[in-house]
Amino acid sequence: MSTTSLENTISDVPEQLKPWLLTSESLTKRLRASLPDVSINLLNANWDNTTWWDKYILNIQYERAYIRQVIISSATNQCWFARTVIPQATYEKRASLFANLSSKSLGDVLFHDKSFKRQQLAFYPVTSSDIEYHWAMAYSSHSIAKQLWVRRSVFMVEGEALYILEVFLPSFVKLLCKD
């Protein structure tokens, strides 16, 4: 992961992307208010072993977690890739909620249920040398991008954490910069 402080990266963020990186509200809700035909493409959602990234960057101590990956789009524009990591202890707190997500917006659930509280919000750039870049670009219709911007959140529910990584895709940044 690129390790740069907020102060060092804010000036590098495209102006149109800053409100999206810094918002404390649901990105999907914000997208629905701004652009037409918002859809959520469920790429996968299953129990898996936590990766070195989950353990080292997110500090997850569990061996297994429910991992859900989606692409959020507006019409034909892919906007962002999202990867959610829900450790087993967290999943068990709201098993029926998580089991019924399918291709629904996780943001709609998190911001509707007041027991979920965001504890951290960070953002940083990634390049082809970062794993986050490859997770997103594996599903992107774009073959290459010099740099992508990532937003990482930690939510807590009943003392347990849930992690969301959102990687803004090149078509979304281009779409924002046209306005």
Q: Could you tell me which of 37, 28, 47 has the C-alpha nearest to residue 151?
A: 28
Tokens of 41: 């493409």
**C-alpha–C-alpha distance, residues 45 and 33, integer Å:** 27
Count: domains in the chain: 1
Chain segment 58-108, per-residue pLDDT in tens: 999 888 999 999 999 998 889 999 999 999 999 998 898 888 887 788 988
pTM of the prediction? 0.90
Over range 171-178, report the average pLDDT. Answer: 81
Enclosing H/E stretch for 72: strand 64-74
In the DSSP assignment, the letter for residue 58 is: S
Instruction: Give me the half-sphere count of Cα atoms (radius 13 Å) on the Cβ side of residue 8.
Output: 6
Which CATH number does the domain housing residue 73 bear?
Answer: 3.40.1410.10
Provide the domain limits for residue 96: 6-178
Instruction: Determine the pLDDT at residue 81.
Output: 96
What is the side-by-side order of every strand in the sheet holding 117-126? Answer: 38-49, 64-74, 77-87, 160-168, 148-157, 117-126
**143: in domain:** yes
**169: in domain:** yes
**45: in domain:** yes
Which residues partner with 121 through β-bridges? 153
**161: in domain:** yes
**1: in domain:** no
Alpha-carbon torsion (86, 91, 93, 99), positive or negative? positive
With 90 as the cut, is the pLDDT of residue 132 above it? Answer: yes
- Split at pLDDT 50, 70, 90, the class of 15 is confident
**93: in domain:** yes
Chain segment 35-68, per-residue pLDDT in tens: 889 999 999 999 999 999 999 999 998 889 999 9
With 50 as the cut, is the pLDDT of residue 166 above it? Answer: yes
